[in-house]
Chain A
Amino acid sequence: MNRPVPLLTAGGLTKAHGRTPALRGASVELHTGEILAVTGASGSGKSTLLHCLAGIVRPDEGSVTYDGRRLADLPEQRLSELRRTEFGVVFQFGQLIPELTALDNVALPLLLAGTDRARARALAGEWLERFGVRGQQDLRPGEMSGGQAQRTALARALVTGPRVVFADEPTGALDSLSGEQVMTALVHTARESGTAVLLITHDAQVAAYADREVQLRDGAVVPLEVTA
């Protein structure tokens, strides 16, 4: 059977923080439009894997290939452009800019990419609408609930039309119903736009929104039991 070429591939990644190894030969594939959950206990290397895949940190060994290009071969400027235009990132705490309103937070990546202000704000409004937080567009992050802030962060991650969204425990700080709203919004939007999602979570109920799961243990992917 011909398997399609993955959009993003990590092979044999190792990475140590000081003397502490975080990844020990982790390999993973993400396909176009796929929602992949990476699960594992705290300290298993999930976030480090995400940082390597998203080109935020460089692995000590192994390689990350995105759309046929090895990230390690790209000059910093090109990598930075890739992160800005083709990747979106959401963290456990949305990391919105506290001084900006929800609308301006979401418009920011477009402004950085050179979109004119009126167009950027109009698009940002549309994305807030899709995530059900249009009514909060003039609030600053400190004035929003955790769930509203996270949905705003998702709108910001998706507003540039990325091909991959990296979400690191996006519901980790939310109660279960707010978490459900965030996950439903993320999954529906990703499916509609064909965006691939790499979802880091320790919560099986969150992982169940994904198409597939890989488990990390001690910095490597736990092999699936194949009984066939």
Chain B
Amino acid sequence: MIAMSTRHLLLGLLATGPSHGYDLKRRHDERFPQARPLAYGQVYTTLQRLVRDGLAEIEGTDSDGGPERTMYRATEEGARELSRWAGEIAPPAPFVANEIFAKVVVAILSGGDPAGYLSAQRAAHMERMRELTALKAAKGADLATVLSADYALNHLDADLRWMSTTAARLTTLTAEVDAA
């Protein structure tokens, strides 16, 4: 899996105006609620790299009554890079291999219980889908939460459909073996 580009996400947040590291971290975690929260260290390292590469620059400092904070803003080059990245097509995965697929294949090869595994895995997927559905159906859920939950739900649903088809194929396969 390609790692999400933190530098582009920060550039995206800077596109709305100058900001400091603490604020960027907070807004990142709000906008991408299902993503892993950014560590402060990661935010500051990424900001320094953006400055080094000419994509951001230091605007000045802002204390706003508290400790002094360095304000950053995106450069024109940063804006161009953000626009390039945002329009870039993410390569559709040519073939998705994952743990569920691997376990089913191994269970078939080793004479295990793939149907039992698929049924238990389905129950775990459904549990997660119920949690995500409750999140997005809650009164007052914000758009970022809804979009992020939708994205996860559709991917889990795709897993489930593959698992249902596979479970049905296992039944057919067993019937064929028994009839032989």
Taking a contact as CB atoms under 8 Å apart, the answer to whether A184 and B137 are in contact is yes
Residues of B whose CB lies within 8 Å of any CB of A are: 116, 119-120, 122-123, 125-126, 129-130, 132-133, 137, 139, 153-154, 156-157, 160-161, 164, 168
Q: Chain B residues near A222: list those with CB within 8 A.
A: 119
CB distance from A44 to the nearest CB of B (A): 11
Alpha-carbon distance between A187 and B130 when the two chains are bound, in angstroms: 12
Taking a contact as CB atoms under 8 Å apart, the answer to whether A209 and B119 are in contact is no
Chain B contact residues, majority secondary structure: helix
Q: Chain B residues near A211: list those with CB within 8 A.
A: 130
Residues of A whose CB lies within 8 Å of any CB of B are: 41, 183-184, 187-188, 204-205, 207-211, 213, 215, 222, 224-225, 227
Alpha-carbon distance between A187 and B137 when the two chains are bound, in angstroms: 9
Q: Chain A residues near B137: list those with CB within 8 A.
A: 183-184, 187-188, 209
Interface centre among A204, A208, A213, A225 (most CB of B within 10 A): A208
Taking a contact as CB atoms under 8 Å apart, the answer to whether B130 and A210 are in contact is yes
Pick the residue among B119, B125, B130, B157 that contacts A225 (CB under 8 A).
B119
Alpha-carbon distance between A188 and B139 when the two chains are bound, in angstroms: 9
Taking a contact as CB atoms under 8 Å apart, the answer to whether B123 and A224 are in contact is yes
Q: Chain A residues near B156: list those with CB within 8 A.
A: 204
CB distance from A182 to the nearest CB of B (A): 12
Taking a contact as CB atoms under 8 Å apart, the answer to whether A208 and B116 are in contact is no
Alpha-carbon distance between A4 and B164 when the two chains are bound, in angstroms: 32
Taking a contact as CB atoms under 8 Å apart, the answer to whether B153 and A205 are in contact is yes
With A222-B119, A225-B119, A225-B120 given, is the CB distance from A205 to B133 under 8 Å? yes
Nearest B residue to A40 via CB reads B164
Alpha-carbon distance between A183 and B164 when the two chains are bound, in angstroms: 23
Q: Chain A residues near B168: list those with CB within 8 A.
A: 41
CB distance from B176 to the nearest CB of A (A): 17
Pick the residue among A41, A208, A225, A227 that contacts B133 (CB under 8 A).
A208
Nearest B residue to A224 via CB reads B123
Alpha-carbon distance between A227 and B133 when the two chains are bound, in angstroms: 26
Taking a contact as CB atoms under 8 Å apart, the answer to whether A204 and B120 are in contact is no
Alpha-carbon distance between A41 and B165 when the two chains are bound, in angstroms: 10
With A184-B137, A187-B137, A213-B126 given, is the CB distance from A208 to B153 under 8 Å? yes
